[in-house]
Amino acid sequence: MTARSARFRALFNDGPFVCMGAHDALTAKLAEDAGAKAIYVSGFAASAIVAGAPDIGVLTQAEMYDHIKRVARGTSLPIFADADTGYGGIAEAVETMRLWQQAGASVLHLEDQQMPKKCGHFDGKELVSAEDMVAKIKAMLAARTDPDFFFVARTDAIAVTGLDDAVARLTAYAEAGADGLYADAPESLDQMRELAARIKPLGKPLLFNMARSGKSPVLTMQEAYDLGFDYSLCPIEPMLTVHKAVGDMMRNFMAAPTTETIAAGMTDFHDFNRFVGEPTGGH
């Protein structure tokens, strides 16, 4: 996947960009068709899609590996895949690095939460020590076989121990060799400005999570970039859109059980077949 990884690194040369969330091969294909530059595979979305469960560390490393592989089949774009906490200690984190590269990812982020982890916008998170996180980062980078694979170190410290600790942790993670930095769930524009100003001297791209209904301000990609965030995630919005659209369709159908009730909201069968590569559109 070196070619995809090199393409991801090159994206930083052309201004801000969004890694579009995709929770299966079809949404990855749709994202590429819409003009996305990169795909993001969210642990939050994976927990919901694979297990129908909240993002509280329910998926195993093997389940997430399989999920990334399936998403990667639907696109030629670089894949940025959530690696949670590395699924254990240093040995498990090293195996995560190996598996994520094998699955087709070109980027991952590792977070400094204790297991079982929680979604970054949930309350009650607990952190590992910065020293333990640094040890994982160094071990995972040493196991990197794709030289262009992009490693993002994430901290959840803002909600737990505050902004100063988040900056101190990201500084340590940058010194350990992380390619990019990510402080999840900043809670205000002022906090985002201060975070970016203090992180920028490290010379590492800074990531913003655009997820709605979380703790962070709702911003455009350009607004986040102007604050000092080099690129963004739109991580779960496709899944939330699917949840609403399919839920509405099923309720409408059950209220009046005929496909005439729901036809206006559906892609034409033959158009869909053409989209996925079947030019005849036959049954």
CATH code for position 12: 3.20.20.60
- Going by pLDDT thresholds of 50, 70 and 90, the confidence category of residue 4 is very high
Confidence of residue 124 (pLDDT cuts 50, 70, 90): low
pTM of the model: 0.94
d(CA 86, CA 130): 15
What pLDDT is recorded for position 212?
86
Answer whether 165's CB lies under 8 Å from 157's CB. yes
- Which residue bears the tokens 């980078």? 141
Q: Average pLDDT, whole number, for the chain?
A: 94
Residue 70 has pLDDT above 60, yes or no: yes
Confidence band of 119 (pLDDT split at 50, 70, 90)? low
> CA 42, CA 184: separation in Å to the nearest integer?
13
Give per-residue burial for 265-278: e unless 16+ CB within 10 Å, then b: eeeeeeeebeeeee
- Let me know if residue 252 belongs to a domain: no
How confident is the model at residue 58, as a pLDDT?
87
**Once rounded to an integer, what is the mean pLDDT over residues 9-31?**
98
Residue 120 has pLDDT above 80, yes or no: no
Express each pLDDT in 187-230 by its tens digit: 999 999 999 999 999 999 999 999 987 778 999 999 999 999 99
Pairwise CA distance, residues 175 & 190, whole Å: 26
- In angstroms, rounded to a whole number, what is the distance separating the alpha carbons of residues 92 and 260? 51
**Enclosing domain of residue 231:** 2-235
Q: What is the pLDDT of residue 281?
A: 47
* Domains: count for the chain: 1
Joined tokens for residue 232: 């963004």
The residue type found at 24 is D
Q: Please report whether residue 282 resides in a domain.
A: no
Residue 54 has pLDDT above 70, yes or no: yes
Helix-helix angle 25-34:61-72, to 10 degrees: 40
* Cα atoms in the 13 Å half-sphere on the side-chain side of 189: 8
- Look at residue 74 and tell me whether its pLDDT is greater than 90: yes
* HSE-up (13 A, CA, CB side) for residue 182: 25
DSSP H or E stretch at residue 108:
strand 107-111
Evaluate whether residue 270 is within a structural domain.
Answer: no
**What b-and-e string marks burial along 229-263, b requiring 16 or more CB atoms within 10 Å of the CB?**
bbbbbbbbbbbbebeeeeeeeeeeeeeeeeeeeee
Q: Burial level of 15, CB count in 10 A (0-12/13-18/19+)? A: exposed
Domain presence at residue 243: no
The pLDDT confidence band at residue 126, using thresholds 50, 70 and 90, is confident
Max CA distance (Å), the chain = 61
Residue 229 lies in a domain: yes
Residue range 150-174: average pLDDT? Answer: 96
Q: Is the pLDDT of residue 122 over 60?
A: no
